[in-house]
Amino acid sequence: MTRTKTRRPPRIGEKPLFRNALITVVLVLVALVIVAPLAIIGVQAFSKGAAFFAKSITDRDTVHAIWMTALTALIAVPINTIFGVAAAWAITKFDFPGRRLLLVVIEIPFSVSPIVAGVAYLFVYGLQGLFGETLQSADMKILFALPGIVLASLFVTAPFVARELIPLMQAQGRDLEEAATSLGASGWRTFVSVTLPNIKWALLYGVILCNSRVMGEFGAVSVVSGNIRGQTNTLPLHIELLYHDYNAVGAFAAASILASLAIVTLIAKVALERRGAGRVRRPALAGPTLETTEPGISKP
């Protein structure tokens, strides 16, 4: 009896010509779109020498913009970290009406333009806005000040931590927490001893992405800050002002700080991915888990 071999159809990209052409196209696009702009930033930043570069980044307005950016991150990132953990915990550990709707609302900043968000804040906290008269009578300044910058940054970065945690916590299910509770552990003890160790790398991954977005945000902050030099300028806004002042080298010098932050973020991202951040793992205890239809989430 002779065995007949079944020929499988060729896979897409299996032919060497197509595969090599596709790789070449990808490498060319990466070089032109990503590598070349980053390289130009470094070259132009030092085009007038290291002394001019040091003078540019130690300028009073540049230092203030760096401080404003760092202060915004120090406020916004911890708040959104707490919010992300709370939102992920509520969505994955409890059943309540509107759970799916809550997930959709959390993801709204992904689909709304940051400039639109900034304009919306004008109509809420501006002088002619919903709370404008109340804030003015209480002598509270939200817009064109640090609170407005923080609010805009909170909006655009709200989903980052939550969206890193929700898929992982859904895949892990509730078995470990329920086992700890049945053994007499309190809610806080269960979170610290059981939940947090299982999500720590994904949590740190989300925090890094959130911090990077806060420091690089331009659209929403440009609307609510007033773009006042030396007062409400963050680093991205200050780069634009330097460029409009025809100080291109100074703008590239300031931009090199954000570029360096992007490289550090990328290195941290790769390091965390090697430790398993963002990967869906099976829970340690066997048993039923939450079913999910979220994109990119596999059922364990």
Instruction: Tell me the domain boundaries of the chain.
Output: 51-274
Which whole-number Å values give the CA distances from 167 to 82, 91, 180, 280, in the listed order? 17, 10, 21, 7
146-178 pLDDT, tens digit each:
999 999 999 999 999 999 999 888 888 878 877
264-274 pLDDT, tens digit each:
888 887 887 77
Average pLDDT over residues 120-136: 86
* pLDDT for res 33: 92
Q: Which position has the higher pLDDT, 126 or 211? A: 211
* pLDDT for res 136: 83
* Residue in 272, 277, 269, 83 with CA at minimum distance from that of residue 198: 277
Radius of gyration over every alpha carbon of the chain, rounded to an integer in angstroms: 24
**Tokens of residue 15, six digits:** 């032919």
* Residue in 40, 71, 70 with CA at minimum distance from that of residue 261: 70
Average pLDDT over residues 5-21: 71
d(CA 229, CA 235): 11
pLDDT at 111 over 70: yes
Contact yes or no for 236/221 (Cβ under 8 A): yes
| CATH fold for the domain made of 51-274 | MetI-like fold (1.10.3720)
3-state DSSP assignment of residue 295: coil
At 276, the pLDDT band (50, 70, 90 cuts) reads low
Lowest mean pLDDT among 148-152, 193-197, 286-290: 286-290
d(CA 201, CA 227): 36
d(CA 163, CA 53): 38
Lowest mean pLDDT among 63-72, 216-225, 278-287: 278-287
Q: Which position has the higher pLDDT, 275 or 49? A: 49
